[in-house]
């Protein structure tokens, strides 16, 4: 099977992050070619030697259109006749072997597969981990050519993550996720159900859960769903559930990706969560509380 994986990753500096290297090396077990797509920079010599040693190609692209923008450019450059194409990004941390996932894909008759099928907004495969099999490759290439590079986050999600699944379904392609949450139209499973996914054996976890680099608008959703924001909970759960199967040093990853996460930050969130639970008993008080959060979100946007 002639296969290639395009791994999109944005990072600053001249060194490839540790968690990205773990991911790239594991992907090399399932694809003949692995290509690291990243923003334009000069990697240091040791990183270039690392890529050569592990037979990983690299392409440096202008940072536009996020991961779909990089995939768009790579699909245009690598136009050979492939049997399988992987479209994967660095928004997740790889925890353990991907063998169970690829065993499932190989036994299925799916044309377009991913880690999670969600029903939020409409039925679609979440886009941080996509496998496009031969029957769907022509459709995917055409879709990228027609839609071009989208500049806004909302445009990327609606046109590409959601739109691509809809387009493939309309063209008779079979799509599916390793974890099927198509019946859940109320939540983003990758975040809200992260603990459940780990318990089910998910080999990946969203990087934001460990780095705390959430969007300003995330918190109302987190409050409504009693989301646990403390990364230490997930680290402990990963160590317990994945005992003996981890292919990554999770403590090293936390140190590498940790941004503004602090105990005071976590305490503030937990306080807000507790307040939301109390005020939820009163529709009026809950409404006022949510309006204050929305006001704070607007003010923070204006500050930027």
Q: Are residues 29 and 167 in the same domain?
A: yes
Look-up of token digits 């691509």: 164
What number is the average pLDDT over the span 264-277?
A: 76
Q: Are residues 157 and 228 in the same domain?
A: no
Q: Are residues 158 and 237 in the same domain?
A: no
Q: Are residues 177 and 195 in the same domain?
A: no
Residue 168 has pLDDT above 50, yes or no: yes
pLDDT of residue 192: 93
Q: Which of 135, 159, 184 is the endpoint of a domain? A: 184
Q: Mind listing the pLDDT tens digit for each residue in 2-22?
A: 999 999 999 988 999 999 999
Instruction: Name the residue range of residue 228's domain.
Output: 186-304
Considering the entire predicted model, what is its pTM? 0.88
Q: Which long-range contacts (CB under 8 A, 24 or more apart) does 293-298 make?
A: 293/219, 293/220, 294/220, 297/216, 297/217
Q: Work out the pLDDT band at 304, boundaries 50, 70, 90.
A: very low
Task: Tell me which of 22-31, 81-90, 209-218, 287-296 is least confident.
Answer: 287-296
How, if at all, do strands 204-206 and 92-94 pair? antiparallel
Q: Are residues 238 and 106 in the same domain?
A: no
CATH no. for residue 46?
3.90.550.10
What is the biggest distance separating any 2 CA atoms in the chain, rounded to whole angstroms?
62
Q: Are residues 25 and 115 in the same domain?
A: yes
Q: Which of 184, 219, 244 is the endpoint of a domain? A: 184
Q: Are residues 81 and 124 in the same domain?
A: yes
pLDDT of residue 281: 67
pLDDT of residue 279: 67
Residue 301 has pLDDT above 50, yes or no: no
pLDDT of residue 302: 40
Q: Are residues 52 and 112 in the same domain?
A: yes
| Beta strands in the chain, from DSSP E residues, in sequence order | 3-9, 33-39, 56-61, 84-89, 92-94, 112-118, 124-125, 129-133, 175-181, 204-206
Torsion angle of alpha carbons 87, 65, 56, 137, nearest 10°? 30
Tell me the HSE value of 110 on the side-chain side, using a 13 A CA sphere: 22
User: The dihedral of CA 284, 286, 289, 291: what is its sign?
Assistant: negative
Q: Are residues 67 and 201 in the same domain?
A: no
Q: Are residues 198 and 87 in the same domain?
A: no
How many domains is the chain built from?
2
What number is the average pLDDT over the span 85-110?
A: 97
What's the mean per-residue pLDDT of the chain?
A: 89
């Amino acid at each position: 099977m002639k296969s290639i994986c395009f791994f999109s990753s944005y990072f600053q500096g001249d060194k490839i992050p540790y968690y990205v290297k773990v991911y790239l090396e594991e992907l090399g077990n399932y694809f003949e070619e692995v290509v690291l797509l990243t923003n334009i920079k000069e990697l240091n010599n040791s990183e270039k030697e690392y890529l050569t040693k592990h037979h990983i190609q690299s392409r440096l692209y202008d940072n536009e259109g996020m991961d779909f923008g990089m995939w768009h450019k790579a699909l245009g450059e690598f136009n050979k006749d492939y049997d399988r194409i992987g479209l994967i990004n660095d928004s997740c941390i790889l925890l353990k072997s991907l063998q169970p996932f690829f065993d499932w894909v190989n036994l299925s008759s799916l044309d377009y597969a991913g880690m999670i099928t969600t029903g939020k907004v409409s039925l679609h495969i979440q886009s941080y981990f996509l496998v496009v099999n031969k029957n769907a490759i022509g459709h995917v290439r055409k879709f990228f050519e027609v839609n071009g590079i989208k500049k806004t986050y909302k445009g990327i999600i609606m046109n590409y993550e959601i739109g691509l699944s809809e387009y493939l379904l309309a063209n008779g392609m079979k799509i599916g996720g390793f974890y099927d949450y198509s019946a859940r139209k109320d939540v983003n499973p990758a975040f809200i159900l992260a603990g459940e996914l780990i318990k089910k054996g998910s080999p990946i976890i969203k990087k934001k859960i460990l780095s705390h680099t959430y969007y300003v608008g995330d918190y109302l959703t987190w409050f409504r769903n009693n989301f646990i924001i403390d990364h230490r909970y997930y680290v402990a759960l990963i160590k317990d559930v994945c005992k003996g199967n981890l292919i990554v040093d999770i403590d090293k990853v936390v140190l590498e990706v940790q941004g503004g996460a602090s105990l005071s930050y976590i305490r503030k969130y937990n306080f807000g969560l507790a307040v939301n639970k109390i005020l939820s008993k009163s529709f009026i008080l809950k409404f006022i509380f949510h309006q204050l959060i929305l006001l704070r979100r607007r003010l923070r946007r204006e500050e930027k």
